[in-house]
């Protein structure tokens, strides 16, 4: 079969639905025809090897959700300086068992006004200090040879104020002004402000920015230098889809669609999760399936579960392939601070009851702050009021609560709402930083135990585990951002420090903190890859361990079963699980009586039922 036939076949499959949705939003035949022509052009430009991979993946559409997947997210400069430097470090990443690398934003972005790269000035140019598109293509080629997938961000809600469109809009060119939201007086912005919440209430208050030289307000939901794109304009949609396809053609396997709930704006609404957003994501999914079906969409929807799940679309009309398991992450840390897993059990029941095709990305920490998006309705029935409880969590994790070992900083503290979020690395939150500072060996062992327990729990969940670079060696907070002018106000940089290669050098030495964490994670990942019970389609259920401080998860695949018990208390707990059979420790091999299990403070066990 000629390869163009593939394109024709895929286009035919999706054409009617794609056209229908496009017309619904834009009612514009010539722009739709242009989109189809461009899809074909990007298809023709796609590398032969990538097309072969597309075909392979079309035949095995679950390729990205196997139990062998282990992700790591990292900043190229922090980790290895440049893309070429990163390529030389692939063996280290392989020693971490990582086969999915999320390269944090690396496209051209103005220094000091970049929001960590999330203000893109040119979607087709790599930040010069990191390398070039050519370097990226070489990296992708080597990654594919090694069986590693690459992920990058597609920042589609906004561009940098330095993007060519923004520059021309600022100069008053109507064509480009219409790609953003421009207003010559504050009437409409004022009406928007009545209903749009604030993303960065302290570091970037308000949703509009006044451009004095141009005499207009422009919509800027995030930072003033990030101008919101107007997706009601079909030119914006088409051009952004061309950028998406261009990036996919650079050899990306996973595209993270950044801040996607925000992309459609409508007066009188919160401008989040509007129906048109789903139409756009659905169209994007089809465009991807037509041109580059090997590419997976990862949606960034940092919202409560009811808002997240619709981004999977339906089984017939899927939208994103993967989504962040954000509420589970926040709930996990809540349970650490309260030593009470009841909320986590409820949250896991919600996630576990979803169709198995819905793939979540599980993580403990990422590059962003932790927002306390918890089920406060339930917490309230247990006597925890929202504002007071958030204050407790923030006091706890900043180390300002008696007995807390965590260290970190608040983020966008909004005193009106008592709504601060939190920043810090996993290791610092587990006490590695404070124990190191106090040179307290016993506390250090407790911190390491908790760090490993949380990773084991993450690896037990269904979905794709994602490590945050540095966590594999217990890297702690980095306070040097305070000396850098463009970063000092944004405390998220506390957990975006330079990767500490001196810790990585200790990863074989189990006398060191880094070595203990690194080796333990390696062992867990190896077991996870080997055992069928960790298959993506295994059942995962919450069981009762008779103790609100201990989480019990049971995974079942066919006749095989494993049980994970995780102690969220800092004291030793003795628990009993109502399960028959003989259970063997998956790490140490000993048989364990599940009616009588003693877990040290923040300890865990992985048990497998003997056949």
Please identify every residue annotated as catalytic: 258, 300
- Find the binding residues for ligand GLC in span 364-383 (CB under 6 A): 367-368
When the beta carbons of 117 and 463 are compared against ligand GLC, the nearer one is 117
Query: Could you tell me the smallest distance in angstroms from the CB atom of residue 419 to ligand GLC?
Result: 16
Nearer to ligand GLC, 288 or 299 (CB): 299
How many C-beta atoms surround the C-beta of residue 540 within 10 A?
21
Q: In this structure, what is the dihedral angle of CA atoms 359, 364, 367, 369, given to the nearest 10 degrees?
A: 110
Q: Kindly state the DSSP code that residue 457 receives in the 8-state scheme.
A: H
The secondary structure of residue 332, as a DSSP letter, is H
Residue from 54, 77, 115, 478 in contact with ligand GLC (CB under 6 A): 115
Q: Which residues contact 375 (CB under 8 A, 6 or more apart)?
A: 304, 327, 331, 343, 346, 347
201 near ligand GLC (CB under 6 A): no
Pick the piece of the chain touching ligand GLC (CB under 6 A) from 80-88, 115-123, 465-473, 522-530.
115-123
Q: Which is nearer to ligand GLC, 26 or 324 (CB)?
A: 324
Size of residue set near ligand GLC by CB under 6 A? 10
Distances (CA, A) of 549 to 328, 529, 569: 16, 28, 6
Rounded least distance, CB 509 to ligand GLC, Å: 34
Question: Angle at the Cα of 246 (from 149 to 45), degrees rounded to 5?
Answer: 95
Q: Estimate the crossing angle of helix 234-248 against helix 3-26, to 10 degrees.
A: 150
Q: How far is the CB of 300 from ligand GLC (least distance, A)?
A: 6
Q: What dihedral do alpha carbons 11, 17, 18, 19 form, nearest 10°?
A: 100
| Number of Cβ within a 10 Å radius of residue 261 | 23
Distance CA 125, CA 12 (A): 33
Q: How far is the CB of 219 from ligand GLC (least distance, A)?
A: 14
Binders of ligand GLC in range 415-434 (CB under 6 A): none
Question: Between residue 5 and residue 34, which ones bind ligand GLC under the rule CB under 6 A?
Answer: none
Task: Name the residue among 155, 499, 362, 576 with its Cα closest to residue 507.
Answer: 499
Q: Which stretch binds ligand GLC (CB under 6 A): 17-25, 112-120, 234-242, 584-592?
A: 112-120
Our finding on whether 47 is near ligand GLC (CB under 6 A) is no
* Minimum CB–partner distance for residue 223 and ligand GLC (Å): 8
Does 228 help bind ligand GLC (rule: CB under 6 A)?
no
Q: Is 258 near ligand GLC (CB under 6 A)?
A: yes
Which residue stretch of 110-118, 241-249, 264-272, 405-413 sits at the interface with ligand GLC (rule: CB under 6 A)?
A: 110-118
Pick from 144, 159, 122, 86: which is nearest to 246 by CA?
A: 122
Give the per-residue contact string, 487-526, with ligand GLC (x = CB under 6 A; - = no). Answer: ----------------------------------------
Q: Select the span of 88-96, 114-122, 409-417, 580-588 touching ligand GLC (CB under 6 A).
A: 114-122
Q: Which is nearer to ligand GLC, 117 or 564 (CB)?
A: 117
Contact status: 116 vs ligand GLC (CB under 6 A): yes
If one asks whether residue 118 binds ligand GLC (CB under 6 A), the answer comes out as yes
Q: SS3 for 193?
A: helix
| Minimum CB distance to ligand GLC, residue 153 (Å) | 8
Q: Which residues within the stretch 77-106 sit at the binding site for ligand GLC (CB under 6 A)?
A: none
In this chain, which residue has its C-beta nearest to ligand GLC? 118
Question: Would you give the binding string for ligand GLC spanning residues 142-161, x where CB under 6 A is met?
Answer: -------------x------
The nearest distance, CB 483 to ligand GLC, in angstroms, is 21
User: Of 18 and 121, which CB lies nearer to ligand GLC in the complex structure?
Assistant: 121
Return the biggest CA–CA distance within the chain: 75
Among 113, 112, 110, residue whose Cα is nearest residue 125: 110
* Under rule CB under 6 A, residue 222 binds ligand GLC: yes
258 vs 319 by CB, closer to ligand GLC:
258
Cβ distance to ligand GLC smaller for residue 156 or 545: 156
Q: Check: CB of residue 273 under 8 Å from CB of residue 303.
A: yes
| Cβ closest to ligand GLC, residue 412 vs residue 462 | 412
Q: Which stretch binds ligand GLC (CB under 6 A): 54-62, 113-121, 207-215, 375-383?
A: 113-121
**Nearest to ligand GLC of 221, 561 (CB atom):** 221
Least Cα distance to 518 among 578, 486, 475 occurs for 475
Per the CB < 8 A criterion, the answer to whether 521 and 452 are in contact is: yes
* Residues within window 280-309 making contact with ligand GLC, judged by CB under 6 A: 300
> Least distance to ligand GLC from the beta carbon of 256, Å?
9
Q: Are 515 and 539 in contact (CB under 8 A)?
A: no
Q: Nearest distance from residue 216's CB to ligand GLC, in Å? A: 22
| Contact residues for 130 (Cβ-Cβ < 8 A; gap 6+) | 76, 77, 82, 83, 106
CA distance 42 to 502: 43
Would you say 286 and 139 are in contact if contact means Cβ atoms under 8 Å apart? no
With respect to ligand GLC, which residue has the nearer C-beta, 116 or 313? 116
We find the least distance from the C-beta atom of residue 199 to ligand GLC, in angstroms, to be: 7
Strand partners, 149: 100
> Judged by CB, which is closer to ligand GLC: 118, or 176?
118
Asked if residue 214 lies in contact with residue 170, where contact means CB atoms within 8 angstroms, the answer is: yes
Q: DSSP letters along 44-81, please?
A: HHS-HHHHHHHHHHHHSTTGGGSTT--EEEE-HHHHHS
Give dist(CA 243, CA 359) in Å, integer.
25
Report phi then psi at 378, rounded to 5.
-70, -45
With H, G, I as helix, E, B as strand and everything else as coil, classify residue 558. coil
Kindly state the smallest distance separating residue 492's Cβ from ligand GLC, in Å. 7
Instruction: Give residues in contact with ligand GLC (CB under 6 A).
Output: 115-116, 118, 155, 222, 258-259, 300, 367-368
């Amino acid at each position: 079969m000629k390869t163009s036939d593939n394109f024709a076949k895929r286009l035919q499959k999706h054409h009617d639905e794609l056209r229908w949705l496009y017309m619904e939003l834009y009612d514009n035949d010539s722009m739709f025809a242009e989109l189809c022509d461009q899809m074909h052009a990007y298809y023709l430009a796609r590398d032969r090897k990538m097309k072969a991979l597309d075909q392979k993946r079309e035949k095995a559409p679950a390729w990205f959700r196997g139990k062998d997947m282990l992700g790591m997210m990292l900043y190229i400069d922090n980790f290895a300086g440049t893309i070429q430097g990163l390529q030389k470090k692939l063996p280290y990443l392989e020693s971490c068992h990582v086969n999915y690398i999320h390269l944090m934003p690396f496209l051209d972005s103005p220094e000091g006004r970049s929001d960590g790269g999330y203000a893109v000035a040119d979607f087709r140019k790599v930040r010069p200090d990191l390398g070039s598109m050519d370097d990226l293509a070489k990296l992708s080629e080597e990654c594919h040879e090694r069986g590693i997938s690459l992920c990058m961000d597609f920042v589609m809600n906004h561009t940098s104020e330095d993007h060519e469109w923004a520059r021309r809009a600022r100069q008053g060119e109507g064509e480009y002004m219409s790609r953003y939201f421009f207003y010559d007086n504050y009437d409409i912005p004022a009406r928007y402000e009545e209903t749009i919440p604030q993303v960065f209430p302290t570091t970037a208050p308000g949703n509009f920015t006044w451009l004095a030289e141009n005499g207009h307000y422009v919509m800027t939901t995030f930072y003033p230098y990030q101008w919101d794109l107007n997706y009601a304009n079909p030119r914006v949609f088409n051009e952004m889809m061309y950028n998406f396809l261009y990036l996919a053609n650079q050899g990306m396997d996973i595209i993270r669609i950044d801040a996607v709930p925000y992309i459609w704006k409508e007066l009188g609404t919160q401008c989040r999760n509007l129906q048109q957003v789903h139409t756009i994501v659905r169209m994007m999914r089809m465009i991807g399936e037509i041109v580059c079906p090997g590419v997976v969409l990862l949606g960034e929807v940092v919202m409560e579960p009811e808002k997240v799940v619709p981004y999977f679309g339906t089984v017939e009309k899927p939208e994103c392939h993967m989504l962040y398991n954000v509420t589970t992450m926040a709930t996990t840390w809540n349970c650490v601070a309260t030593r009470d897993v009841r909320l986590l059990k409820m949250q896991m029941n919600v996630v576990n009851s979803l169709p198995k095709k819905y793939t979540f990305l599980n993580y403990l920490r990422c590059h962003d702050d932790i927002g306390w998006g918890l089920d406060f309705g339930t917490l309230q029935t247990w006597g925890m009021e929202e504002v007071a409880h958030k204050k407790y969590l923030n006091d706890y994790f900043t180390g300002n609560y008696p007995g807390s070992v965590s260290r970190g900083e608040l983020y966008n503290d909004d005193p009106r709402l008592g709504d601060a979020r939190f920043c810090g690395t996993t290791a610092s939150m587990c006490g590695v930083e404070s124990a190191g500072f106090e040179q307290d060996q016993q506390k250090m062992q407790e911190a390491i135990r908790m760090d490993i327990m949380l990773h084991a729990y993450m690896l037990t969940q269904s979905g794709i585990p994602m490590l945050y670079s540095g966590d594999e060696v217990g890297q702690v907070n980095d306070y040097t951002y305070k000396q850098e002018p463009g970063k000092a106000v944004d405390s998220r940089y506390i957990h975006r420090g330079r990767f500490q290669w001196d810790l990585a050098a200790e990863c074989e030495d189990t006398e060191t903190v880094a070595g203990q964490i690194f080796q333990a994670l390696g062992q867990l990942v190896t077991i996870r890859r080997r055992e069928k019970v960790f298959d993506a389609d295994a059942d995962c259920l919450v069981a009762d361990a008779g103790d609100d401080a201990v989480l019990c998860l049971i995974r079942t695949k066919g006749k095989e079963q494993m049980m994970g018990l995780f102690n969220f208390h800092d004291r030793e707990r003795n628990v009993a699980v109502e399960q028959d059979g003989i259970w063997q420790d998956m790490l140490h091999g000993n048989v364990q009586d599940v009616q009588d299990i003693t877990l040290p403070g923040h300890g865990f066990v992985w048990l497998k039922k003997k056949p």
